[in-house]
Chain A
Amino acid sequence: MASPVTCSVTIRIQEDDFDIAREIALLTKSRTDIGAVVSFSGICRADEDSANIAALTLEHYPDMAEEEIRRHVDEAISRWPLNGVTVIHRVGRFMPGDNIVLVLTASQHRQAAFLAAEFLMDYLKTSAPFWKKEESEAGTGWVEAQARDDEAAARWTRS
Protein backbone atom coordinates (compact mmCIF):
# COMPACT_ATOMS: atom_id res chain seq x y z
CA MET A 1 0.00 0.00 0.00
CA ALA A 2 1.32 3.42 -0.93
CA SER A 3 2.05 5.71 1.97
CA PRO A 4 -0.03 8.91 2.02
CA VAL A 5 1.52 11.82 0.16
CA THR A 6 2.95 14.45 2.45
CA CYS A 7 3.07 17.90 0.93
CA SER A 8 5.46 20.51 2.31
CA VAL A 9 4.18 24.05 1.84
CA THR A 10 6.18 27.29 1.89
CA ILE A 11 4.43 30.65 1.39
CA ARG A 12 6.40 33.85 1.71
CA ILE A 13 5.75 37.50 0.91
CA GLN A 14 8.99 39.44 1.00
CA GLU A 15 10.86 42.44 -0.35
CA ASP A 16 14.05 40.47 -0.92
CA ASP A 17 14.86 38.60 -4.10
CA PHE A 18 14.65 34.81 -4.18
CA ASP A 19 17.11 32.22 -5.46
CA ILE A 20 15.25 29.72 -7.62
CA ALA A 21 17.90 26.99 -7.38
CA ARG A 22 18.01 27.30 -3.60
CA GLU A 23 14.21 27.13 -3.31
CA ILE A 24 14.10 23.99 -5.48
CA ALA A 25 16.87 22.43 -3.38
CA LEU A 26 14.93 23.21 -0.17
CA LEU A 27 11.77 21.69 -1.64
CA THR A 28 13.42 18.43 -2.70
CA LYS A 29 15.96 18.12 0.13
CA SER A 30 16.25 14.60 1.59
CA ARG A 31 13.19 13.37 -0.33
CA THR A 32 13.21 10.59 -2.87
CA ASP A 33 9.48 10.54 -3.68
CA ILE A 34 9.56 13.61 -5.92
CA GLY A 35 9.88 12.92 -9.64
CA ALA A 36 8.97 16.32 -11.06
CA VAL A 37 9.39 19.95 -10.10
CA VAL A 38 7.79 22.72 -12.14
CA SER A 39 9.13 26.23 -11.63
CA PHE A 40 7.36 29.39 -12.76
CA SER A 41 8.88 32.81 -12.24
CA GLY A 42 7.18 36.09 -13.05
CA ILE A 43 9.61 38.84 -14.03
CA CYS A 44 9.19 42.60 -14.37
CA ARG A 45 8.90 43.40 -18.12
CA ALA A 46 10.37 46.48 -19.76
CA ASP A 47 7.49 47.22 -22.09
CA GLU A 48 3.74 47.15 -21.66
CA ASP A 49 1.43 48.24 -24.50
CA SER A 50 4.45 49.85 -26.20
CA ALA A 51 5.21 52.10 -23.22
CA ASN A 52 8.66 51.73 -21.68
CA ILE A 53 8.39 50.65 -18.05
CA ALA A 54 10.95 52.32 -15.79
CA ALA A 55 9.76 50.66 -12.59
CA LEU A 56 6.91 48.68 -11.07
CA THR A 57 5.66 48.98 -7.50
CA LEU A 58 3.83 46.06 -5.88
CA GLU A 59 1.42 46.84 -3.03
CA HIS A 60 -0.34 44.12 -1.04
CA TYR A 61 -2.83 43.51 1.74
CA PRO A 62 -0.72 41.85 4.43
CA ASP A 63 -2.30 38.85 6.20
CA MET A 64 -5.03 38.47 3.58
CA ALA A 65 -2.41 37.90 0.87
CA GLU A 66 -0.88 34.98 2.79
CA GLU A 67 -4.31 33.58 3.68
CA GLU A 68 -5.58 33.83 0.12
CA ILE A 69 -2.49 32.12 -1.29
CA ARG A 70 -2.83 29.38 1.34
CA ARG A 71 -6.48 28.79 0.42
CA HIS A 72 -5.45 28.19 -3.19
CA VAL A 73 -2.46 26.06 -2.26
CA ASP A 74 -4.80 23.92 -0.12
CA GLU A 75 -7.16 23.59 -3.06
CA ALA A 76 -4.29 22.62 -5.40
CA ILE A 77 -3.24 19.94 -2.88
CA SER A 78 -6.80 18.60 -2.79
CA ARG A 79 -6.93 18.43 -6.60
CA TRP A 80 -3.53 16.99 -7.50
CA PRO A 81 -1.13 14.58 -5.76
CA LEU A 82 1.52 17.15 -4.80
CA ASN A 83 4.61 16.54 -2.68
CA GLY A 84 5.55 20.16 -2.25
CA VAL A 85 4.49 23.72 -3.08
CA THR A 86 6.46 26.94 -2.72
CA VAL A 87 4.93 30.35 -3.44
CA ILE A 88 7.04 33.48 -3.00
CA HIS A 89 5.62 36.87 -3.94
CA ARG A 90 7.78 39.96 -3.69
CA VAL A 91 6.49 43.44 -2.79
CA GLY A 92 8.19 46.80 -3.20
CA ARG A 93 9.64 48.63 -6.19
CA PHE A 94 11.11 46.68 -9.10
CA MET A 95 13.09 47.38 -12.25
CA PRO A 96 12.72 45.51 -15.55
CA GLY A 97 14.41 42.13 -15.21
CA ASP A 98 13.69 41.79 -11.47
CA ASN A 99 11.96 38.69 -10.14
CA ILE A 100 8.43 39.26 -8.84
CA VAL A 101 6.87 35.89 -8.14
CA LEU A 102 7.95 32.26 -7.84
CA VAL A 103 5.72 29.18 -7.89
CA LEU A 104 7.25 25.73 -7.44
CA THR A 105 5.18 22.58 -7.52
CA ALA A 106 6.59 19.11 -6.87
CA SER A 107 4.95 15.80 -7.58
CA GLN A 108 5.76 12.21 -8.44
CA HIS A 109 4.86 12.83 -12.07
CA ARG A 110 5.02 15.90 -14.24
CA GLN A 111 1.35 16.38 -15.13
CA ALA A 112 0.17 17.21 -11.61
CA ALA A 113 3.09 19.61 -11.16
CA PHE A 114 2.41 21.43 -14.45
CA LEU A 115 -1.34 21.73 -13.81
CA ALA A 116 -0.97 22.85 -10.20
CA ALA A 117 1.59 25.52 -11.13
CA GLU A 118 -0.71 26.92 -13.80
CA PHE A 119 -3.73 26.79 -11.47
CA LEU A 120 -1.83 28.64 -8.72
CA MET A 121 -0.57 31.35 -11.08
CA ASP A 122 -4.02 31.92 -12.58
CA TYR A 123 -5.45 32.43 -9.10
CA LEU A 124 -2.52 34.52 -7.88
CA LYS A 125 -3.20 36.95 -10.73
CA THR A 126 -6.92 37.34 -10.11
CA SER A 127 -7.57 36.70 -6.44
CA ALA A 128 -4.48 37.33 -4.30
CA PRO A 129 -4.60 40.93 -3.02
CA PHE A 130 -1.62 42.48 -4.82
CA TRP A 131 -1.67 45.58 -7.03
CA LYS A 132 0.90 46.86 -9.52
CA LYS A 133 1.68 50.49 -10.21
CA GLU A 134 3.72 51.31 -13.31
CA GLU A 135 6.14 54.14 -13.87
CA SER A 136 6.77 54.80 -17.54
CA GLU A 137 7.59 57.67 -19.86
CA ALA A 138 3.82 58.13 -20.21
CA GLY A 139 3.48 58.73 -16.47
CA THR A 140 2.57 56.73 -13.38
CA GLY A 141 -0.57 54.67 -13.07
CA TRP A 142 -2.16 51.57 -11.62
CA VAL A 143 -2.15 48.51 -13.85
CA GLU A 144 -5.65 47.52 -14.97
CA ALA A 145 -6.88 43.99 -14.43
CA GLN A 146 -7.01 41.95 -17.64
CA ALA A 147 -10.13 40.09 -18.73
CA ARG A 148 -7.87 37.34 -20.11
CA ASP A 149 -6.60 36.69 -16.56
CA ASP A 150 -10.17 36.27 -15.29
CA GLU A 151 -10.88 33.89 -18.17
CA ALA A 152 -7.73 31.91 -17.36
CA ALA A 153 -8.82 31.53 -13.73
CA ALA A 154 -12.42 30.70 -14.64
CA ARG A 155 -11.45 27.56 -16.55
CA TRP A 156 -10.45 25.89 -13.25
CA THR A 157 -13.93 26.35 -11.77
CA ARG A 158 -15.50 22.99 -11.03
CA SER A 159 -19.06 22.71 -12.20
Chain B
Amino acid sequence: MKVKYFAWVRERVGKAEETIEPPATVHTVAELIAWLSSRSEAYAYAFEKPKVIRAAIDRAHVKSDATITGAREIAFFPPMTGG
Protein backbone atom coordinates (compact mmCIF):
# COMPACT_ATOMS: atom_id res chain seq x y z
CA MET B 1 0.00 0.00 0.00
CA LYS B 2 1.03 3.58 -0.55
CA VAL B 3 1.70 5.76 2.49
CA LYS B 4 1.82 9.57 2.39
CA TYR B 5 3.13 11.97 5.01
CA PHE B 6 2.38 15.66 5.37
CA ALA B 7 3.68 18.73 7.22
CA TRP B 8 5.97 17.93 10.17
CA VAL B 9 5.25 14.20 9.92
CA ARG B 10 6.72 14.35 6.39
CA GLU B 11 9.73 16.35 7.60
CA ARG B 12 10.45 13.95 10.45
CA VAL B 13 10.03 10.78 8.37
CA GLY B 14 12.18 12.39 5.68
CA LYS B 15 9.97 11.52 2.71
CA ALA B 16 6.60 12.50 1.29
CA GLU B 17 5.47 9.02 0.28
CA GLU B 18 6.53 5.41 -0.04
CA THR B 19 5.14 1.96 -0.73
CA ILE B 20 5.13 -0.41 2.23
CA GLU B 21 4.20 -4.02 2.91
CA PRO B 22 3.40 -4.33 6.59
CA PRO B 23 3.25 -7.85 8.08
CA ALA B 24 -0.13 -9.59 8.20
CA THR B 25 -0.28 -9.03 11.96
CA VAL B 26 -0.82 -5.30 11.36
CA HIS B 27 -4.57 -4.74 11.10
CA THR B 28 -5.34 -1.22 12.29
CA VAL B 29 -4.06 2.32 11.85
CA ALA B 30 -2.69 2.26 15.42
CA GLU B 31 -0.85 -1.01 14.73
CA LEU B 32 0.56 0.43 11.51
CA ILE B 33 1.86 3.46 13.44
CA ALA B 34 3.51 1.13 15.96
CA TRP B 35 5.06 -0.95 13.17
CA LEU B 36 6.34 2.13 11.32
CA SER B 37 7.77 3.52 14.59
CA SER B 38 9.83 0.36 15.02
CA ARG B 39 11.53 0.81 11.63
CA SER B 40 13.92 3.64 12.49
CA GLU B 41 14.55 6.61 14.75
CA ALA B 42 13.10 8.96 12.14
CA TYR B 43 9.74 7.14 12.21
CA ALA B 44 9.86 6.84 16.00
CA TYR B 45 10.36 10.63 16.19
CA ALA B 46 7.53 11.33 13.71
CA PHE B 47 5.11 9.11 15.64
CA GLU B 48 6.40 9.80 19.17
CA LYS B 49 2.97 11.14 20.16
CA PRO B 50 0.61 8.78 18.32
CA LYS B 51 -2.50 10.43 19.78
CA VAL B 52 -1.63 13.69 18.00
CA ILE B 53 -1.31 12.01 14.60
CA ARG B 54 -4.32 12.10 12.26
CA ALA B 55 -4.85 9.48 9.58
CA ALA B 56 -6.79 9.12 6.35
CA ILE B 57 -7.53 5.97 4.38
CA ASP B 58 -8.17 6.45 0.68
CA ARG B 59 -8.57 10.21 1.27
CA ALA B 60 -11.13 10.07 4.07
CA HIS B 61 -10.46 10.76 7.76
CA VAL B 62 -10.33 7.65 9.99
CA LYS B 63 -9.76 6.94 13.67
CA SER B 64 -6.78 4.97 14.95
CA ASP B 65 -8.83 1.78 15.39
CA ALA B 66 -9.84 1.74 11.70
CA THR B 67 -8.88 -1.38 9.77
CA ILE B 68 -6.27 -0.98 7.04
CA THR B 69 -7.38 -4.10 5.19
CA GLY B 70 -7.92 -3.28 1.53
CA ALA B 71 -6.56 0.26 1.88
CA ARG B 72 -4.76 1.57 -1.19
CA GLU B 73 -3.50 4.84 0.28
CA ILE B 74 -2.93 5.74 3.91
CA ALA B 75 -1.89 9.24 4.95
CA PHE B 76 -0.49 10.50 8.26
CA PHE B 77 -0.43 14.15 9.25
CA PRO B 78 -0.70 16.56 12.18
CA PRO B 79 -3.98 18.27 13.12
CA MET B 80 -5.03 20.54 10.28
CA THR B 81 -4.42 24.28 10.30
CA GLY B 82 -5.88 25.57 7.03
CA GLY B 83 -8.49 28.21 6.39
Contacts and interface: CB of A to CB of B under 8 A. Distances in A.
Interface size class of B (residues with CB under 8 A): 10 to 19
Nearest to B77: A129
B59 interface: yes
B59 A64 contact: yes
B56 A131 contact: no
Contacts, number: 72
Q: What is the interface of chain A mostly: helix, strand, loop, or mixed?
A: mixed
Interface of B: 4, 6-8, 56, 59-61, 75, 77-83
A128 B80 contact: yes
Contacts of A133: 7
A144 interface: yes
Contacts of A144: 79, 81
Contact of B79 (A67, A121, A124, A145): A145
Contact of A61 (B4, B79, B81, B83): B4
